[in-house]
Structure 1
Amino acid sequence: MPSERLFSVTNRWSRLSVGITAALVVLTALGGFVLLPYAQSDLKLAGLWDAICSAAGIPKQPSNSRVIQPGFKISDVIMTSAMLANPTSESIGRGATLAQQCAICHGPTGISRADSPNLAGQYPAAIYKQLKDFKSGARTNAVMSPFAPHLTDQDMIDLAAYYHYLPRLPAYHPAQKLPAPRIVVNGAPMRGIAPCGSCHGSLDNKAGSPWLEGQSAVYMKAQLRAFADGTRRNDISQQMRNIARAMTDEEIGQAAEYYASQPPDQYQAQP
């Protein structure tokens, strides 16, 4: 039997096999990371490194590339959990005066009879964000779009403070308290749908998200469908659009009817 070791630098077969393997690795890398990217006629590459990044799934944009902007206005409101948390009594008083213009749709006590949102006791950050988006055009509505541009930033703060100060009263569309459907309690993780309460909780919520108990089922269905078809798109990071698109029409109806049947927490802010 030969005494020469199989895996040794002196073994010509070992050197040959290692050399062939290394050559195949280099050729494969060149083909996959360089030749194939350059073979794509519709892919514009700035150089060799850009081709390698593209093949690896991390395209490197050229420094002089033009940033593609969406063809519609997006919300530019930055939300924080402490936003508008401590309004003054003067701000609430100014908001009460301004709110007289809102009573025809949102009710004199912030409770609507017209399937508009109930605003009494609503989180101030949620009201402020929507007013800002109506003013900027990130959200559109036949009534609010002409109204909001005349509001100053202080007007919006005052309105948010006033409506947040009002007590949450029972809605004008009472229904028997319905059991919570699965889409509300558990969401649908396999479809990327989080439980509604993870953002819209009554005791705690994601900054800018409204509480929903006692809101009009007609209004909530309309908003979910608008998110789903893209006619409403002022949600930050598209979270509501992604969720609504994944919901069935039956689930949208169940969620809306459930929240409409729930009495709001008896809550009143303090100035």
Structure 2
Amino acid sequence: MPNERLFSTRNPWFSLSVGLTAALVVLTALLGFVLLPYAQSHSNIAGLWDAICSAAGIPKLASSASSVQPTFKTSDAVVTSAMLANPSSESIGRGATLAQQCAICHGPTGVSRADSPNLAGQYPAVIYKQLKDFKSGARTNAVMSPFAAHLTDQDMVDLAAYYHYLPRLPAYHPAQRRPAPRIVVNGAPMRGIAPCGSCHGSLDNKVGSPWLEGQSAAYMKAQLLAFANGARRNDISQQMRNIARAMTADEIEEAASYYASQPPDQYQPTP
């Protein structure tokens, strides 16, 4: 047996194999991390480091110049749990005067006969946000958009204060009271759907989520379908769009019919 060690630089075959392996590693690194990323026509490579990160699958931080902007107006309304909590009697009075223009759709006492939403006793932050979204274009409607266009921020505060002050009354077309469907109480966790009641008042109320009991079934169904198909897009963080898209037609029908069948609590808020 020869005395020469196998893994030694004096062994020409070892030196040759190591050299070829190193050359292959460098060549493949150049091809995979530099040349191929630059060869992609759709890539936007700013430099060598960008090319290496792109090939390694590391997302590049988008600059403000290249950030993707939505093609539609998004809601800029800021809603907090404390807003409009203690309206003055003057604000409620001004809101009552402004609300005379709203009576044809929302009723003289805030209860609709026309499948428009019932506003009596609604959370003030909800009314304020929707009016602000109608004015900004984040939410559109043939009737509400022109009306909201001329409202000042104080007008919106006053309308929200007035309607919140009104007692909730039974809807004009209530269905017979029925048990809560599973989508309302349990949701559908496997499809990422939280229970409706976890945000809309039956179990808890999240800021900005409207009170739904006693609302028109036709109105609620129309809004769920609008969220599902993207026609309505003023929900914060797309929470309603994500939920409505995952709901079946039967679940939408069940949720709308259930909330319409529940007589709203009657109460007189303290101004």
Change (3 A) 1:146 1:50: same
Q: How does 1:154-193 map to 2 (within 5 A)?
A: 154-193=154-193
Match of 1:60 in 2: 61
- 8 Å CA contact 1:50, 1:60 repeated in 2: no
State the shift of 1:67 in Å. 3.5
Q: Give the letter for the 1:58 counterpart.
A: P
Q: Give the letter for the 1:73 counterpart.
A: K
Match of 1:252 in 2: 252
State the shift of 1:28 in Å. 6.9
Match of 2:128 in 1: 128
Higher Cα Rg: structure 1 or 2?
Answer: 2
Q: Give the letter for the 1:137 counterpart.
A: G
State the shift of 1:18 in Å. 10
DSSP-derived class of the 1:117 partner: coil
Distance 1:44 1:32 in 2: 16
Q: How does 1:216-235 map to 2 (within 5 A)?
A: 216-235=216-235
The percent identity for this pair of structures is: 83
Match of 1:108 in 2: 108
Distance 2:82 2:131 in 1: 18
Query: TM-score, normalised on structure 1?
Result: 0.86
- Cα RMSD, aligned residues only: 3.0
- 8 Å CA contact 1:46, 1:62 repeated in 2: no
State the shift of 1:34 in Å. 4.1
The range that moved more, 149-158 or 35-44, is 35-44
Q: Give the letter for the 2:59 counterpart.
A: I
Structure 1 spans left out of the alignment, 5+ residues: 1-7
- 8 Å CA contact 2:139, 2:234 repeated in 1: yes
Distance 1:24 1:259 in 2: 68
State the shift of 1:118 in Å. 0.4
Change (3 A) 1:62 1:148: closer
State the shift of 1:53 in Å. 3.5
DSSP-derived class of the 1:150 partner: coil
Structure 2 spans left out of the alignment, 5+ residues: 1-6
Distance 1:166 1:146 in 2: 25
Distance 1:22 1:262 in 2: 75
Match of 2:209 in 1: 209
Change (3 A) 1:130 1:62: closer
Change (3 A) 1:263 1:16: farther
* Matched residues, number: 268
DSSP-derived class of the 2:199 partner: helix
Distance 2:244 2:134 in 1: 21
The range that moved more, 124-133 or 75-84, is 75-84
- 8 Å CA contact 1:91, 1:161 repeated in 2: yes
- CA offsets 1:158-204 (integer angstroms, 9 cap, x no match): 00001011111111112111111111111112222111122212574
Distance 2:252 2:210 in 1: 17
Q: How does 1:137-148 map to 2 (within 5 A)?
A: 137-148=137-148
State the shift of 1:32 in Å. 5.3
Match of 1:195 in 2: 195
Change (3 A) 1:62 1:125: closer
Distance 1:233 1:186 in 2: 25
Q: Give the letter for the 1:61 counterpart.
A: A
State the shift of 1:37 in Å. 3.1
State the shift of 1:22 in Å. 8.9
- 8 Å CA contact 2:197, 2:203 repeated in 1: no
